[in-house]
Amino acid sequence: MSATVIPDTVAPGGVITASNVFYLLLLPATLLFYAYWKISRRHLHELSNNIPGPSGLPILGSALEFVGSSADIFKRMYAKSFEFGKVVKIWVGPKLLIFLTDPRDVEIILSSHVHIDKASEYRFFKPWLGDGLLISTGQKWRAHRKLIAPTFHLNVLKSFIDLFNANSREVVQKLKKENNKEFDCHDYMSEATVEILLETAMGVSKKTQDQSGYDYALAVMKMCDILHIRHTKIWLRADWIFNLTQYATKQKGLIHTIHSLTRKVIKRKRADFEKGIRGSTAEVPEDAKTLKYEKNVSSKTVVEGLSYGQSAGLKDDLDVDDDIGEKKRMAFLDLLIEASQNGVVINDEEIKEQVDTIMFEGHDTTAAGSSFFLSLMGIHQDIQDRVIQEIDEIFGDSDRPATFADTLEMKYLERCLMETLRMFPPVPIIARQLRQDVKLASGDYTLPTGATIVIGTFKIHRDPDTYANPDKFDPDNFLPERSANRHYYSFIPFSAGPRSCVGRKYAMLKLKILLSTILRHYRVQSDLKEKDFQLQADIILKRAEGFKIKLEPRKRQLRAA
């Protein structure tokens, strides 16, 4: 542009050229920009000065701590976390991260209707999840949350029970080929959780998809690897650099695989909708239907009988009014398509973003949770005995499907599940961007506007001030008398407050049916102990070495009912 204004020629015998002018102005312009940048960040520095944390290197800060494999980074960061208190600042280049692990401080952030903006790192999800519920903010997030949350209410979830049973039975059949040999159960859990989502929340039969649930799950895992690399290698954060790398090409291919499934799902559902078909079109085999076994359970018992993965005192928009009107009782994609018919609440692109979001959040988290659960059962044989005893007391020697009332009886299994989510929370950290200063409750600290706040769920769940023996797998941590005096925000696997997980109840119900069905048929063995797990936190917490277990068929004489 400047070349057209000031011709880039050498003046006869002179030295003033356009490039000379450019270089002459570059230095003062840079100095001015730097001065402005420093002044605009003064507040950030002033308020963070008294927050403890590693001093780091000039310019880079602690960026080098994030070099290496995900498992190395996780181990290093967790070890470092013991050097400081419950409010820690870390500079990563110019970025200020503040880690919070005191439940009183965490409550201030998570319960707020103001601090709802996700950290800037979530933008790496955009090409994949668009502006779906996980990432969006402001009015768009509010309107869509209001629309989507009721589609995960208990009354809707109860209509999924037969499909949870049918799919869990299929997993048991598939697992037969792994009898008595070591294998990675996460592969099976990923495939099952994708297929269950397709048949329940999306309401389409998995048989109509030409891609298997596993292909989709694999693409998601590889996509998470790339996103994790962008979080840790700071030079890849800039889109223009990232787009020059092979990761960008790989990402394009993976997004194509992921989006081709979600596009097909929406297309099929729309076609069904136009034919007047509502609800799931997935078929349930007769022997997985629960109607004749179901006892009537009042919604009051339901709320009191199940914590759904939350501390008992925490309530959110999933807990209000379980007896919602008949009209509102629609599953996720049915409701979105119906809402889009008038084009006001949600348009086609937004439906796709939400479907992508639910397909991701709904499967990878529960695949990790169930794989950790099975690994822990394999390690703690005595605890597995008690779970199996409880299941056998509920089902006897019958092979009938699990009813909703049965899931309420699975109290010990539920405690084991909660303890699994405590020790190995699938979402190990939550990050928010502060748009205004926040005074903390735990000490004389004020978090400055512009800081990235990292809620360290993994660390909070291992705090010896809250859990007497935090590294021991002890389901009795969730006995009512032990939970009673705990701060509500000291157990937050599903986050909490207005941006809590909308799939919390769905996840707990599905996991109870899936895991109890597996344990009705198999006993789990594991040669490793949990201290040997190589944890890696690339978006979702996993075992880097895979979730290796062995299954032994249980010797039960089953009868039909």
- Shortest spacing between CB 506 and ligand HEM, in angstroms: 5
- Shortest spacing between CB 7 and ligand HEM, in angstroms: 54
What is the helix (H) or strand (E) element at residue 88, kind and residue range? strand 87-92
- Shortest spacing between CB 138 and ligand HEM, in angstroms: 12
- Shortest spacing between CB 488 and ligand HEM, in angstroms: 15
Q: What is the torsional sign of CA 407, 365, 192, 272?
A: positive
- Among the listed ranges 38-46, 160-168, 217-225, 488-496, the one in contact with ligand HEM (CB under 6 A) is 488-496
Which residue number, 47 or 514, has a Cβ lying nearer to ligand HEM?
A: 514
What is the CA 38 to chain-centroid distance, rounded?
36
Q: Which residues are annotated binding-site positions?
A: 501
Can you tell me which of 90, 133, 447, 509 binds ligand HEM, judged by CB under 6 A? Answer: 133
**Binding residues for ligand HEM restricted to 324-343, rule: CB under 6 A:** none
- Shortest spacing between CB 176 and ligand HEM, in angstroms: 26
3-class SS of residue 354: helix
Q: Does 366 bind ligand HEM (CB under 6 A)?
A: yes
Which residue number, 17 or 137, has a Cβ lying nearer to ligand HEM?
A: 137
DSSP characters over 266-325: HHHHHHHHHTT--S------GGG--GGGPPP--HHHHHHH--TTS-TT---TTTS-SS--
Closest by Cα among 422, 507, 411 to 458: 422
- Among the listed ranges 218-226, 316-324, 340-348, 361-369, the one in contact with ligand HEM (CB under 6 A) is 361-369
What is the helix (H) or strand (E) element at residue 100, kind and residue range? strand 95-100
Q: Which amino acid is at 107?
A: E
Closest by Cα among 489, 431, 472, 552 to 123: 431
How many residues lie near ligand HEM (CB under 6 A)? 23
Read off the tokens for 556.
């039960």
Which residue number, 412 or 494, has a Cβ lying nearer to ligand HEM?
A: 494
Estimate the crossing angle of helix 348-379 against helix 213-232, to 10 degrees.
Answer: 90
Can you tell me which of 202, 227, 355, 358 binds ligand HEM, judged by CB under 6 A? Answer: 358
Dihedral (C-alpha) 465, 466, 469, 474: value to the nearest 10 degrees? 180
Can you tell me which of 361, 390, 409, 530 binds ligand HEM, judged by CB under 6 A? Answer: 361
Residue with tokens 């988290």: 365
Residue with tokens 């990235």: 452
Q: Which residues are annotated binding-site positions for heme?
A: 501
- Shortest spacing between CB 218 and ligand HEM, in angstroms: 19
Which residue number, 72 or 319, has a Cβ lying nearer to ligand HEM?
A: 319
- Among the listed ranges 64-72, 167-175, 204-212, 490-498, the one in contact with ligand HEM (CB under 6 A) is 490-498
Instruction: Identify the burial level of 55 via C-beta atoms within 10 angstroms of its C-beta, where 0-12 means exposed, 13-18 middle and 19 or more buried.
Output: exposed
Which residue number, 47 or 430, has a Cβ lying nearer to ligand HEM?
A: 430
Can you tell me which of 362, 448, 450, 497 binds ligand HEM, judged by CB under 6 A? Answer: 362
Closest by Cα among 130, 129, 134 to 148: 134
DSSP H stretches of helix in 275-403: 299-305, 332-340, 348-379, 381-395
Which residue number, 448 or 497, has a Cβ lying nearer to ligand HEM?
A: 497
- Shortest spacing between CB 558 and ligand HEM, in angstroms: 29
Q: Does 109 bind ligand HEM (CB under 6 A)?
A: no
- Shortest spacing between CB 432 and ligand HEM, in angstroms: 8
Which residue number, 201 or 423, has a Cβ lying nearer to ligand HEM?
A: 201
**Binding residues for ligand HEM restricted to 394-453, rule: CB under 6 A:** 426-427, 430
- Shortest spacing between CB 83 and ligand HEM, in angstroms: 26
State the residue number with the nearest CB to ligand HEM. Answer: 503
Distance CA 455, CA 316 (A): 19
- Among the listed ranges 24-32, 342-350, 355-363, 381-389, the one in contact with ligand HEM (CB under 6 A) is 355-363
Distance CA 341, CA 270 (A): 10
Site string for ligand HEM, 495-534 (x = CB under 6 A): x---x-xxx--xx---------------------------
Which residue number, 61 or 493, has a Cβ lying nearer to ligand HEM?
A: 493
3-class SS of residue 525: strand
Long-range contacts of 5-10 (CB under 8 A, 24+ apart): none
Estimate the crossing angle of helix 348-379 against helix 332-340, to 10 degrees.
Answer: 170
Any residues with CB less than 8 A from the CB of 73 and at least 6 apart, and which?
A: 65, 66, 67, 232, 537
Q: What is the torsional sign of CA 234, 361, 369, 324?
A: positive
Which residue number, 232 or 366, has a Cβ lying nearer to ligand HEM?
A: 366
Which residue number, 401 or 503, has a Cβ lying nearer to ligand HEM?
A: 503
- Shortest spacing between CB 456 and ligand HEM, in angstroms: 12
Backbone angles phi, psi at 137, to 5 degrees: -145, -175
- Shortest spacing between CB 507 and ligand HEM, in angstroms: 4
- Shortest spacing between CB 40 and ligand HEM, in angstroms: 27
Read off the tokens for 375.
């690994």
Radius of gyration of the chain measured on its C-alpha atoms? 26
Q: Does 454 bind ligand HEM (CB under 6 A)?
A: no
Q: Does 456 bind ligand HEM (CB under 6 A)?
A: no
DSSP H stretches of helix in 15-57: 18-40, 42-48
No. of helices (H) and no. of strands (E), the chain: 22, 11
What is the helix (H) or strand (E) element at residue 99, kind and residue range? strand 95-100
Q: Does 134 bind ligand HEM (CB under 6 A)?
A: yes
Can you tell me which of 163, 201, 514, 535 binds ligand HEM, judged by CB under 6 A? Answer: 201
Q: Which residues bind ligand HEM (CB under 6 A)?
A: 133-134, 145, 201, 357-358, 361-362, 365-366, 369, 426-427, 430, 493-495, 499, 501-503, 506-507
